[in-house]
Chains A and B, each alone.
Chain A
């Protein structure tokens, strides 16, 4: 339903009635074939929002090429017909399917749902309010979002990096961080937007790649916040390998340079000197904010917002809003990047599914099954249907000639033209023709298989044919549309593509799909917060769960934490969580337990759990790895040598136990990045800055006069956590920055008193501190993960964390199906994120467990045992661990349930004994041969002559 908007809600969790106002798009989505003629013919040009106003679009438009649904719409606000009362209608005249409908009306709908998920996103901050930055006046001061569009190959300048004023390629670019973030003066956004440091670095690196000359790229920042997985290394690469300049300063003013389009930046350097530097382009790294209409939506739904206008949530229920049954994910929950948004999306789905598990599948409709004709013994009889797509194909390609040509090809038994091959009546006709002419294979020459193959496959299935006995020849998207001025060449190409399709479909045998049973139970490894939340997520959706914990208690490191960053007490939550887990009838807890063996694959694992001397074989359909992390035990800073030196978690303990060392202290120091962001451990441990700031505040609570110092490299209180950093500064906590090359020095006197010496970055001189207690914010590491990684055949990063299938888009999945990851084993993270990831893992695992069967087969690889030499060249290249080597027979074998059909193994097999069904070697060779068939005829002729 787009464009649509929620205008009201009533009812209760499990049974909401949601009022949706669906605005007319003036195009019938059923009829629109996305050919784009309406946009081509539309005479009205308006600013293109998708390209940040840097390009134009028409009033009849598709928001962007990958828009979902991929259907056009008419923008009423600019359309000439609506503006001038009935004139124009060019789109209606040219639309080949009659999809344009100016009489379409807005519709109000009432939708009955059990749960609501809000994923309303953010809007980029509008920097016009920064008067001294002159964003509105200077053409070459743009936002990061605008620069994204400039860099995009599909953007306004086709990916040519040019600046707006004169379309010249800039050779010197500056990025200004924290525009609209960490700033209460211009915008009342005290929070950090959490993503801008990374996007600025990314843009700088891409800009350098795009630039023909060595580009001078400079990033002006306050704290470099690269706290995500693999982010720190990216930052280092930008600085050390790409030569991006990082300048620690908040820029004061941007001015025009008279007589040129360049701009001047005025700033104070680290030593307090006022500097001016001229750049050819300045990019403002604008932050995120909640849009006013989203705030209004929150009000409509009765969802509370926090002081920064994001949806109010608790750290322990990070995707639940204040209104039961209404969940939230993504940037509306708080500023965040893509991986975190994706995790929360799955977490919200899990939370909703837990609530609605009883109703699962109650509204699902099953597709009818059609009997399949056995064509194995038949000679190929191919039917070729050549589509005109209205005028889309026929105006360029001679479709009758293509049809006549097709009839001359071997194995072709029937040919026909159609106006729209995808229309309902043509589908019916194809079915009839299959029966009438006893066709056993079908080629449709029309648009792209990427959108229409499933439609035609369904049609031939209904006519009793195996759906794989089908090929498309793309003569529109890769034919008539791209060779508009060369009708002959386009027709020639269309004939060739049809010949290739016919030849390959003739070689196609029917492919079988088969069903494998699913063990509807989960295995969760790790009994910390992430493991328990994941286990409950699955159990609440109705699946049995085995929860395996190495220690003799549940709770993990959360047992040692006092508060979350926003002050919520951890222990009551953990107690309650443990109680919910241990009392849940579907959760079986194994303490003092270990996994010693794993066999099977997605849907059908069997793992051996050894617990207290007993061995249990547990069948499960999916597994979640949540083994957590550990704190690095430093060898530096007198840790374990002086009782006044504590780790962060020991400071929590001291605070909890009201240890006189802490309660009686007059001075306290925190040292950040102990073991993190160093060559040995080149990653940020993500939680330590916030943890230290939070404990610094606790100390100030105990004794407001206590001298509290935090020695840091970059203060990384990302997102809304920035608010407690601000609070700490207001309460007199002193932050002193140090450099990696100039680490603080800790010495002790004979009486055990400590001296911490650090070079003050402003004064440039050593400062001596004498803390009564020193807290080391030590790194988070993973232990004993290799064995588990081997058992489940999943990879690890160089830093020892589990490596997910895709850093951005699949943050809880492994490439190996049915195995998922959550919590600190994936990367250091605070409790709210660990809980969200645990719920996400539960949602992803439930997708497997909810299936009655796993469908395997179809386009998968197959090893011919007759010709396999057992060389194992295929085994290593499979990204999905789907190929195993059978030692006894010295043969490779593909597990079709795990195979994704990429064919990399087939290409690697030296004897070509692996076939990717549907894309066999023979079919690929044949397509090559057919593509060049005319040439061969000529060559033979030449040879004979």
Chain B
């Protein structure tokens, strides 16, 4: 099969109260960013378990971005503390297993930070594009 042009696939898990709202604000402000991302809205970044992230990589995502409230601003008081713990652990684990570093990214973006949201998406998309396709994606499924 002919090599198709690589189109980076990025999954975003964004908390309802901060990053998802920041994404909306980027829209209201008409800030432009690449359309490689597919967004899953969750109530809190603490809803996202490492399994959900691993599933995305298993299914061929090139990057996963978790967006939550700034530390201290969590709508549920300390959900994002759990996010930090889980995701830094998962980042270490992914590195340990030999998976490329940097495909899982965690960012705090508030509801007021539309420009930051757009910038984060631009930079992360650019980075993932440069990294090329995830190895899990190229590897055919085990028969």
Residue ranges of A at the interface with B (Cβ–Cβ < 8 Å): 34, 36, 40, 65-66, 152-154, 158-159, 448-450, 474, 476-479, 481-486, 489-490, 492-493, 496-497, 500, 805-806, 815, 859, 877, 879-880, 900-904, 906-908, 912, 916, 919, 921, 924-925, 927-929, 931-932, 935-936, 938-943, 945
Decide: B41 and A449 in contact? CB cutoff 8 A.
yes
Decide: A932 and B32 in contact? CB cutoff 8 A.
no
Q: What are some 16 contacts across the A-B interface (CB < 8 A)? A: A152-B112, A154-B114, A448-B27, A477-B23, A478-B26, A493-B37, A902-B79, A903-B44, A906-B49, A921-B49, A924-B42, A928-B52, A932-B9, A935-B9, A935-B137, A941-B1
Segment 20-35 of B: residues with Cβ below 8 Å from A: 20-21, 23-35
Decide: A906 and B141 in contact? CB cutoff 8 A.
no
Task: Give 19 A-B pairs besides A482-B35, A483-B32 with Cβ atoms closer than 8 angstroms.
Answer: A36-B29, A65-B25, A153-B116, A154-B114, A448-B27, A474-B41, A484-B32, A489-B35, A493-B37, A496-B38, A497-B38, A877-B82, A928-B40, A928-B55, A928-B59, A928-B61, A938-B4, A939-B140, A943-B140
Known: A66-B111, A478-B23. A484 touches B28 (CB 8 A): no
* B40: chain A residues within 8 A (beta carbon): 500, 924, 927-928, 931
Decide: B28 and A34 in contact? CB cutoff 8 A.
yes
Decide: A450 and B30 in contact? CB cutoff 8 A.
no
* A806: chain B residues within 8 A (beta carbon): 77
Decide: B27 and A492 in contact? CB cutoff 8 A.
no
Decide: A940 and B1 in contact? CB cutoff 8 A.
no
Decide: A500 and B43 in contact? CB cutoff 8 A.
no
Which residue from B1, B35, B41, B79 sits with its C-beta under 8 Å from A483? Answer: B35
Known: A497-B38, A939-B137. A929 touches B28 (CB 8 A): no
Known: A477-B27, A906-B47, A928-B55. A500 touches B38 (CB 8 A): yes
Segment 64-103 of B: residues with Cβ below 8 Å from A: 75-79, 82, 86
Decide: B82 and A907 in contact? CB cutoff 8 A.
yes
* A474: chain B residues within 8 A (beta carbon): 24, 39, 41
Q: Name the CB-closest residue of A to B139.
A: A939
* B28: chain A residues within 8 A (beta carbon): 34, 36, 65, 477, 481
A66 to B28, CA, bound (A): 11
A611 to B111, CA, bound (A): 50
Decide: B16 and A450 in contact? CB cutoff 8 A.
yes
* B35: chain A residues within 8 A (beta carbon): 482-483, 486, 489-490, 492-493
Decide: B77 and A879 in contact? CB cutoff 8 A.
yes
Decide: B60 and A935 in contact? CB cutoff 8 A.
yes
B48 contacts chain A at the CB level, 8 A cutoff: yes
A263 to B34, CA, bound (A): 43
A932 to B32, CA, bound (A): 23
* A500: chain B residues within 8 A (beta carbon): 38, 40
* A902: chain B residues within 8 A (beta carbon): 43-44, 46-47, 75-76, 79
Which residue from B4, B9, B29, B34 sits with its C-beta under 8 Å from A65? Answer: B29
Which residue from B9, B42, B77 sits with its C-beta under 8 Å from A919? Answer: B42
Decide: B39 and A907 in contact? CB cutoff 8 A.
no
Give, as a whole number of angstroms, the nearest-CB distance from B137 to chain A. 7
Decide: B115 and A493 in contact? CB cutoff 8 A.
no
Decide: B9 and A482 in contact? CB cutoff 8 A.
no
* B49: chain A residues within 8 A (beta carbon): 906-908, 912, 921
B56 contacts chain A at the CB level, 8 A cutoff: yes
* B128: chain A residues within 8 A (beta carbon): none
Which residue from A496, A904, A928, A932 sits with its C-beta under 8 Å from B44? Answer: A904
B104 contacts chain A at the CB level, 8 A cutoff: no
* B30: chain A residues within 8 A (beta carbon): 36, 40, 481-482, 484
* A449: chain B residues within 8 A (beta carbon): 41
Decide: A159 and B29 in contact? CB cutoff 8 A.
no
Decide: B38 and A931 in contact? CB cutoff 8 A.
yes
* A450: chain B residues within 8 A (beta carbon): 16, 20-21, 24
A903 to B79, CA, bound (A): 9
Known: A478-B23, A489-B35, A490-B35. A154 touches B52 (CB 8 A): no
Q: Name the CB-closest residue of A to B35.
A: A489
A924 to B43, CA, bound (A): 12
A912 to B52, CA, bound (A): 11
A939 to B119, CA, bound (A): 31
* B61: chain A residues within 8 A (beta carbon): 928, 931-932
A474 to B37, CA, bound (A): 13
A482 to B16, CA, bound (A): 19
* A859: chain B residues within 8 A (beta carbon): 43
Decide: A908 and B82 in contact? CB cutoff 8 A.
yes
A221 to B112, CA, bound (A): 32
Decide: A901 and B43 in contact? CB cutoff 8 A.
yes
A925 to B59, CA, bound (A): 10
* B115: chain A residues within 8 A (beta carbon): 153-154, 158-159
* B47: chain A residues within 8 A (beta carbon): 902-904, 906-907, 916, 919, 924
* A66: chain B residues within 8 A (beta carbon): 111-112
A476 to B79, CA, bound (A): 28
Known: A902-B46, A935-B59. A153 touches B27 (CB 8 A): no
Which residue from A152, A497, A877, A901 sits with its C-beta under 8 Å from B39? Answer: A497
Give, as a whole number of angstroms, the nearest-CB distance from B130 to chain A. 19
* A497: chain B residues within 8 A (beta carbon): 38-39
| Cβ proximity bits B121-143 to A, threshold 8 Å, 1 near / 0 not | 00000000000000001001101
A736 to B42, CA, bound (A): 57
* B140: chain A residues within 8 A (beta carbon): 939, 942-943
* B76: chain A residues within 8 A (beta carbon): 879-880, 900, 902, 904
* A943: chain B residues within 8 A (beta carbon): 140-141, 143
Decide: A939 and B141 in contact? CB cutoff 8 A.
yes
Give, as a whole number of angstroms, the nearest-CB distance from B71 to chain A. 13
A935 to B25, CA, bound (A): 30
Give the residue among B49, B61, B118, B140 with the most A Cβ atoms within 10 A. Answer: B49
Give, as a whole number of angstroms, the nearest-CB distance from A391 to chain B. 13
